[in-house]
Amino acid sequence: MAKKSSTSKKAGANGRRPLKSAPKSAARNGNLSGERRYTIPDYRLESFDCAVRQVASDDGVRYEVTGDLSAPVPPIRESKSLSPRQCLEIYRWMLLNRKMEQALENLYKQGKVVGGVYFGLGQEACSCASAYALCPEDWLAPMIRNQGSLLVRGFSARDVMMQYMAKAGSPTFGKDASSHFGDQQKRNVCAPISTLGDLIPVMAGVALGARLQGRNIAALTYIGDGGQSTGVTYEGLNFAAVQKLGLVLIVENNLWGYSTPSDMQFRVKDLAERAIAYGIPGAIVDGTDACQVYDVVHDACERARRGEGPTLIEAKMMRMKGHAIHDAAEYVPKPLFEYWRKRDPIARLEKFLLERKWLTAKQNEELIAGVDGELEADREFAVNSPMPDPEKTPQNVYCDGCHEIKPKYGVPKAGSGKGSGKPKQGEAAVHLR
Amino acid sequence: MASTSYLEGIRQGIWEEMERDPSVFCLGEDIGIYGGAFKVTDGFIERFGPERVVDTPIAESAIVGAAFGASLTGLRPVAEFQFMDFIGCAFNQITNMLAKAHYRWGAPAPVVIRGPSGGGVHGGPFHSQNPEMYFVHTPGLKVVCPGTAYDAKGLIKSAIRDNNPVIFFEHKFLYRRIKEDLPAEDYTVPIGKARVARQGRDLSIITYAAMLHVALEAAEILAKEGIELEVVDLRTLLPLDREAIATTVRHTNKVIILHEDTRTGGIAGEVAALINEEAFDDLDGPIVRITSRDTPVPFSPPLEDYFLPKVADVIREARRLKSY
Ligand SMILES: Cc1ncc(C[n+]2csc(CCOP(=O)(O)OP(=O)(O)O)c2C)c(N)n1
Ligand SMILES: [Mg+2]
């Protein structure tokens, strides 16, 4: 009779017994002949090598940043395609973006905003310069921090303010808030929903739809370092890759997803590396450098318009406020704010323009005054416009003919194959009868 | 004992279960150092450590799937959704993986999926929804919607101790608005049992969650004009307490069903069918439904106010039904 094992550890079918402790992971032996190499271009003029971790101490658990935060601020990278006039335009959009959000913050403090306010502080270059790379027939889908993209795409600060104040004249007639609006008819902007990542397959579909109509367009959207963890991100990107659709996805790595640092969100060093796994080009840019953002997005859009498929761009930057106005971001280690404050996208672009003499101090003053004037007029209008009529609540759940549905780019071809013109007849293989 | 809020009741319930049973753990987005978007798990990571308070990537489907996986190893996971509006992201895991596991292959799924739902706070279409009926339609799940601090605490404890997947809808409007004194000792509230929140002889109002308070307020006003409402708080939507529903109808013979969820496909239809089956002969009037409108939850306050059922609606319908 076999002796009973003294422990409860029985051998499994493979003859193995459970280990007492977890096995040490075997070091990869470098099989050089089979090694593969991929490159992800990094356009930054510096690299940011810091990590945020959870540390427990006597006074609780908190986040700590490790790494060198003393590097000098890099210059703006010379754009290979932007003219001085275009640089100035982007600069103005960025100013408008920031000052509009400052106005929103004031409106909030005056109790005029319904709900909270979201900010793109520190990310204006990423929003504005990327949207600036689009042509009118391209598409844009903004996320919550891309209020600047909406301005570039032809909405006004008034629209955004009215959204936050839930006014009857807001782009959603008071039915939704913040950047949650779009324009399917004229501006080619798809409104976001809150659930993160859901725009990615939608924008792949926009590119698919246009291609069916004989047109390759660029379809630009964004996802955060947090939001990219969703499954739908994978589905959308893979779909676009397989179908070679002109999706341009910017991963806005601002180091935080609400209170969660990106080190707790993913394990790759750079999210752009994910492109390798999808089999598509990826690139890294400094999200606080408008010229870099523009150039890379411009190239990705050109690729999309040539029908060569999607591009994944990681823009590195920092969310310079809390998740929304209610959040004081006390969990963020202070040195991180100090590091990124020096890399303010607007101050740096301003300096670049002044140094190059593409902008004089006087012109700058005029430009700022112009932005302020525009915002004041918009604020005035928005504040004084009426709230929605409650009787309208049940309206527009369905389209009962109020919209015409027709191909935007041209009529798809009836058929391009060589079939007989009739559906196939025959016994289908059906296993459920 | 100091008055305890609805949110605090849930906090205490989870905390006490984690103290009592080492197999209970939490997972969700921003639940660690931040303590959750609504601060339900504030201080948990300090007490139970990052092993039992797992801050996850933003991946609802993975959160629910992983919770079920951990439950297969004998644990009792409590998964937080930052907003129940995002539960659609995990719909397949919940309705196909968890709900059917025990029926198909004999694997219990003692998983709690909890988070804030409901409107009245001007959260707009994606931070105000009442998605309970998607799950009420799924055999294998239990669906709980507490309306008081006492029930919230007692029911979260029952949900954690239950061997089945429980979707626990917390109403965010109630989080910090209602308070009551809770017993110091351990108690639970059974899943599947309704409660008579106010006794009355003239007509019954069957409701749950935040609308319980609308019903109670209306009952107070109507009592002054001599109409006595009996208020029944369902507390659990799946399984429904058939007995409690039939009993109140037999007692008052007239019934209003009130809920914040939209009208078509809301629980009122199911309750009405059940009354038809159990107590048809006891009815002295038509079954009345008071619900939200069949639209998404609009953001702007005048629109949302129009959308939601109000005390005035209950009063108007109660008077009409009383004189029927
Ligand atoms: C699917 C889903 N889960 C959770 C949320 C709640 N939520 C909204 S924003 C956010 C953090 C997003 O972080 P990130 O994607 O990095 O964007 P950022 O706010 O940094 O721009 C979370 C968890 C959501 N909107 N959608
Ligand atoms: Mg982020």
Residue reference for tokens 């032809």? A154
Q: Does any ligand 1 atom lie closer than 6 A to the CB of residue A261?
A: no
Q: Does any ligand 1 atom lie closer than 6 A to the CB of residue A193?
A: no
**C-alpha to C-alpha distances, B246 to A395, B173, B195, B255, B291, nearest whole angstrom:** 37, 29, 13, 11, 21
Q: Which residues surround ligand 2, an ion (CB under 5 A)?
A: A 224-226, 254, 257
The pLDDT tens digits for A105-119 are: 999 999 999 999 999
In a domain, B221, yes or no: yes
pLDDT of amino acid B289? 98
Whole-angstrom distance, CA of residue A364 vs CA of residue A295: 24
**Do B274 and B310 reside in the same domain of the chain?**
yes
**Do B177 and B295 reside in the same domain of the chain?**
no
Whole-angstrom distance, CA of residue A390 vs CA of residue A223: 34
Q: What is the CATH number of the domain that holds B203?
A: 3.40.50.920
In a domain, B188, yes or no: no
The confidence band for A262, taking pLDDT boundaries of 50, 70 and 90, is very high
Peptide bond into A142 cis (omega under 30): no
Residue A7 pLDDT more than 80? no
Is there a contact between B154 and B218 (Cβ–Cβ < 8 Å)?
A: no
Q: Which residues contact A65 (CB under 8 A, 6 or more apart)?
A: A50, A51, A52, A333, A335, A336
**Do B25 and B167 reside in the same domain of the chain?**
yes
The pLDDT tens digits for A198-212 are: 999 999 999 999 999
The pLDDT tens digits for B53-110 are: 999 999 999 999 999 999 999 999 999 999 999 999 999 999 999 999 999 999 999 9
In a domain, B190, yes or no: no
Q: Listing from the earlier edge strand, what are the strands of the sheet with B142-144?
A: B53-55, B24-28, B76-80, B112-117, B166-171, B142-144, B236-238
**Do B49 and B172 reside in the same domain of the chain?**
yes
Enumerate the domain spans of chain A.
83-390
Q: What is the CATH number of the domain that holds B23?
A: 3.40.50.970
Contact B303 A257 (CB under 8 A): no
A91-97 average pLDDT score? 98
Do the strands A219-224 and A247-253 form a parallel or antiparallel pair, or are they unpaired? parallel
Residue B1 pLDDT more than 70? no
The pLDDT tens digits for A274-303 are: 999 999 999 999 999 999 999 999 999 999
**Do B9 and B45 reside in the same domain of the chain?**
yes
Residues of A in contact with B307 (CB under 8 A): 393
Give the residue numbers in A contacting B (CB under 8 Å), as ranges. Answer: 54, 56, 60-63, 114-115, 166-168, 172, 174-177, 180, 193-196, 226-227, 229-232, 257-260, 264-266, 331, 387-394, 397
**C-alpha to C-alpha distances, B220 to B146, B151, B210, B216, B228, nearest whole angstrom:** 21, 21, 16, 6, 9
In a domain, B310, yes or no: yes
- Residue-averaged pLDDT of chain B: 98
Q: Extract the tokens encoding B83.
A: 């907003």
Cα B58 to the center of its chain, rounded Å: 24
**Do B31 and B80 reside in the same domain of the chain?**
yes
Nearest to A176 among B46, B60, B124 (CB): B124
Whole-angstrom distance, CA of residue A101 vs CA of residue A85: 25
In a domain, B254, yes or no: yes
**Do B18 and B79 reside in the same domain of the chain?**
yes
Residue A48 pLDDT more than 80? yes
The pLDDT tens digits for A371-395 are: 999 999 999 999 999 999 999 999 9
- The reply to whether B42 touches chain A by the CB within 8 Å rule is no
Q: Which residues contact A431 (CB under 8 A, 6 or more apart)?
A: none
The confidence band for A16, taking pLDDT boundaries of 50, 70 and 90, is confident
pLDDT of amino acid A371? 98
Q: Which of B153, B182, B211 is the last residue of a domain?
A: B182
Q: Give the type of residue at A421.
A: G
Q: Extract the tokens encoding B12.
A: 């205490």
Is there a contact between B88 and B54 (Cβ–Cβ < 8 Å)?
A: no
DSSP state letters, A187-235: T-BPPP-SSTTTHHHHHHHHHHHHHHTT----EEEEEETTGGGSHHHHH
pLDDT of amino acid A1? 45
**Do B44 and B109 reside in the same domain of the chain?**
yes
Count of domains forming chain B: 2
Q: Which atom of ligand 1 is nearest to the CA of A323?
A: 19
Is there a contact between B115 and B257 (Cβ–Cβ < 8 Å)?
A: no
- Helices in A231-317 by DSSP H: which ranges? 231-243, 274-278, 290-305
Q: Which of B154, B182, B210 is the last residue of a domain?
A: B182
**Do B205 and B166 reside in the same domain of the chain?**
no
**Do B48 and B150 reside in the same domain of the chain?**
yes
- Helices in A316-388 by DSSP H: which ranges? 334-341, 345-355, 361-384
Whole-angstrom distance, CA of residue A63 vs CA of residue B25: 22
- The reply to whether B190 touches chain A by the CB within 8 Å rule is no
pLDDT of amino acid A22? 54
Residues of B in contact with A385 (CB under 8 A): none
Contact B294 A394 (CB under 8 A): yes
In a domain, B287, yes or no: yes
- The reply to whether B46 touches chain A by the CB within 8 Å rule is yes
3-state SS class at B173: coil
The values of phi and psi at residue B281, to 5°, are -65, -15
Q: Which domain holds residue B310?
A: 195-322
The pLDDT tens digits for B114-136 are: 999 999 999 999 999 999 999 99
**CATH architecture of structural domain A83-390:** 3-Layer(aba) Sandwich (3.40)
Q: What is the ipTM of this complex?
A: 0.94
Ligand 1 center to A225 CA (angstroms): 9
pLDDT of amino acid A110? 98
